[in-house]
Structure 1
């Protein structure tokens, strides 16, 4: 009986370690990399439901825009866009399935995109910065990647 107990404990321990290692190896990482050189600037551990956003001053209408993305089913999904002024280059019509609401500061929040992107591309601003917000951290993409860098966010 003692031998069976020890065998059961060992089997349980092996199973637990196997499950733990499998969960570690399946951890997703969001990479910020240069699309021209493939240099990785930084990676972030993410999981299902993690949100990240990129904030910038729109080059045409000169007002702040925040693009919010979410990790869903192992993909990067456009969740919502927040902006304060209509104008050239920003969405002026709500498409089927989308909603327009106003936040507490009076900004327009368009949601319901549910568009999957294999990667999200930006060109880092030369006049104003792009700010990445992820897991409570605010990161200047100008400082991280340099002005006019052609970057992408991709799950790896």
Structure 2
């Protein structure tokens, strides 16, 4: 009887430990580009969107870039801005569709899949991650001038709980 109990307990421990490490949580990972140090994990579902906002360096107006999480990559969905600035699309092209939204903002929709994106934390751009009803300034995660990589990963519960994370 005690051997059967010990074997059952051992199997339960092995299965429990395995569940903690199996990569079944889809997450948005923000890490330092150079060191690869993980700075933030955000639990996400495939199809969920998040936004990165910043102040345009030339016209000093806000820009909102929306991205979508897929199972193993990101999709750049659209950019919204209220006035034209250097490098901002002004018309539809083969890459994307330009329109004026009902609220008067300009929208550039591209739906471009990418494996990850790199964002250099600006000194005055106020790069901000809008996710899960939270606003996180990227300058809270890394010094201005630092490059950050944003990508989708699949991780286990232990990894998710180890560092700074948002469910």
TM-score (norm 1): 0.77
Cross-structure match for 1:120: 117
Q: In structure 1, what is the Cα distance between the partners aligned to 2:112 and 2:24? A: 23
Question: Of the two structures, which has the highest relative contact order with CA contacts closer than 8 Å and spacing of 6 or more?
Answer: 2
2:141 aligns to what SS in structure 1? helix
Which deviations, in whole Å up to 9, do the C-alpha atoms of 1:79-122 show, x marking residues without a partner?
010011112121123113733333354211111x1211111111
Q: In structure 2, what is the Cα distance between the partners aligned to 1:26 and 1:86? A: 42
Cross-structure match for 2:156: none
Query: What stretches of structure 1 of length at least 5 have no aligned partner?
Result: 1-16
Q: What is the deviation of 1:37?
A: 1.5
RMSD in angstroms over aligned alpha carbons? 2.2
Instruction: Give the number of equivalent residue pairs.
Output: 136
Query: What stretches of structure 2 of length at least 5 have no aligned partner?
Result: 1-14, 154-167
Cross-structure match for 1:135: 132
Cross-structure match for 2:7: none
Contact 1:56 1:129 survives alignment (8 Å) = yes
TM-score (norm 2): 0.73
Q: In structure 1, what is the Cα distance between the partners aligned to 2:103 and 2:139? A: 27
Q: What is the deviation of 1:147?
A: 1.3
